Amino acid sequence: MKVTDMDSTEKVLRPRHYFTIALGASIGVGWIPLYGTWLTTAGSLGVVIAFLIGVAAMIFIATAYMRLASLFPVSGGETAYAYAVLGKRPGFVTGWALIFTYLGICIFEAIAVAKFSQQLIPGLVGMQLYTFLDNDVYLGSILIGISCSIMLGTMHILGTKWVARFQDSMTFLLLLISLVFIVMGLFKGSVENLQPFFVADHRGSQISGVITVLAIVPLMIGGFNFAVQAIGERAPDVPVKAVNRSLLASLLAVGCFYAGLFFAGTMSMPREQLLAAELPVQAAFSVLFGSETFGKTLILLALLGLLTSWNSVLLGGAQILKTLSDSGGISPWFGAIHPRYSTPGNAIVFLTVLTILGTFGGNGFIGPILGSSSLTIISAYLIVCICAFCMLKHPPSADVHIAPIFLYVSIVIVLILLGIALSEPFFARPEVHLPVSWIVLFFWIGLGLLVRKVNKQTSQP
């Protein structure tokens, strides 16, 4: 199946934009609420090892994306590749499953923004409305999530150039503050606070904690995956090779960020005091700079980082919906281009509305969403590796050369990651028989196939 850009969207993205889209999506702020959990589960060195293994694996997997991007330099990423190489049904299932992932992350960001805002202004979340999945939902949290959803959605409709400028400024600011934190932690902290390097589970195994963290790493550092969705929006004078270099640079930067972050934060203060804090990384910031006010400044900057991640995901999600629409899987309405701003306006509105609805689920909604999202994104990696393998005999473009051995290794790596993602619920909770995240994902895919069937029937003359 031939895949081409079927629109007149803005062609304005440059290599630095792909770097900040990928990096901003990868570092975001997801590590802040999970920081203490990861340290408790795997230990300081265990967490770093899990992330470095994940980054190394992602570099191999990224070579498959780079190979396919040279063959199909269009927006849509995995969805477009699956359509082109495997056919309509696999392409649709890939895109539909990824929409669930991207939408889930958007909802996570919308819910998390209220949680961090509460740290800056106590009482901001307001009155309790109800309890959902054993978690209280507050009026202020919903209003904050809705406001940020509308703000980002509006910016995306107004044009990709505004999205890119916002991403550049916020990502570089976040990098600057993070670098200051890492340097302060490494120089002022104590190596003794890194103990224990690993944490044993109830069976005495120190590996299971690393595996538990590694299972979610592909989701945490999969920013290059989001950037690939918008390759079709690069400026006319930007070759695919330049985009690929930006993606690799973002992965290397992600590895340095997480390794420095966890070592610096853990070295900042004794483990017991660090883990006793509501937000351990905020406590680490406050100790290193001797100021509670500076700790709160971290939360403000973390909110900006959250928006960069959300910004990247919304950009990629709209491109996937447009690809599904252009390929006939869903209604042409989703692929409509705004007549004035040249953006997939309807797709952006759809994602924004569903994100707003998701905020009503509160914190109890986050667990099943992230569990399903990690499994889905690793499955998407597998699809890309299979597509790249199928296209080995097809000559790549003149400026992109990927040795076949990288593609072979990428398939092995992604199969291992998929096995880890499938087994992690049973490692972490031995009493689990069928994870809720699997049920949610299967339901979503079944719903998608029904939507595709209905759309196919209604579109026939």
Q: What pLDDT score does 195 carry?
A: 83
pLDDT, tens digit, 9 for 90 and up, residues 288-329: 877 777 767 777 777 877 888 899 889 989 999 999 999 888
Identify the band that residue 396 occupies on the pLDDT scale cut at 50, 70 and 90. Answer: low
Give residue 45's pLDDT: 87
Mean local confidence (pLDDT), 387-415? 79
Tell me which residue of 172, 204, 210 sits closest to 52, measured CA to CA.
210
Residue 188 lies in a domain: yes
Is 70 exceeded by the pLDDT of residue 6? no
Report the CATH number at residue 23. 1.20.1740.10
- Per the structure, the count of domains in the chain is 1
In a domain, 429, yes or no: yes
Residue 8 covered by a domain: no
What's the average model confidence in pLDDT over 413-441? 70
pTM above 0.95, yes or no: no
In a domain, 126, yes or no: yes
Residue 3 falls inside a structural domain: no
- C-alpha span between 422 and 291 (Å, rounded): 43
Q: Hey, which of 126-140, 151-165, 407-421, 436-450 has the most confident mean pLDDT?
A: 151-165
Handedness of CA 416, 418, 422, 428 (dihedral sign): positive
The residue range of the domain holding 67 is 15-459
Q: Please say if the pLDDT value at position 60 is more than 60.
A: yes
**436, pLDDT greater than 90:** no
10 located within any domain? no
pLDDT tier at 350 (50, 70, 90 boundaries)? very high
426 located within any domain:
yes
Residue 253 lies in a domain: yes
pLDDT bin (cut points 50, 70, 90) of residue 208 is: confident
Question: Using CA of residue 56, residue 196, residue 189, residue 35, what is the dihedral sign?
Answer: positive
Q: Which of 11, 16, 30 is nearest to 247 (CA)?
A: 16
pLDDT interval class at 356 (50, 70, 90): very high
81-106: pLDDT as tens digits: 999 999 998 999 999 989 988 888 88
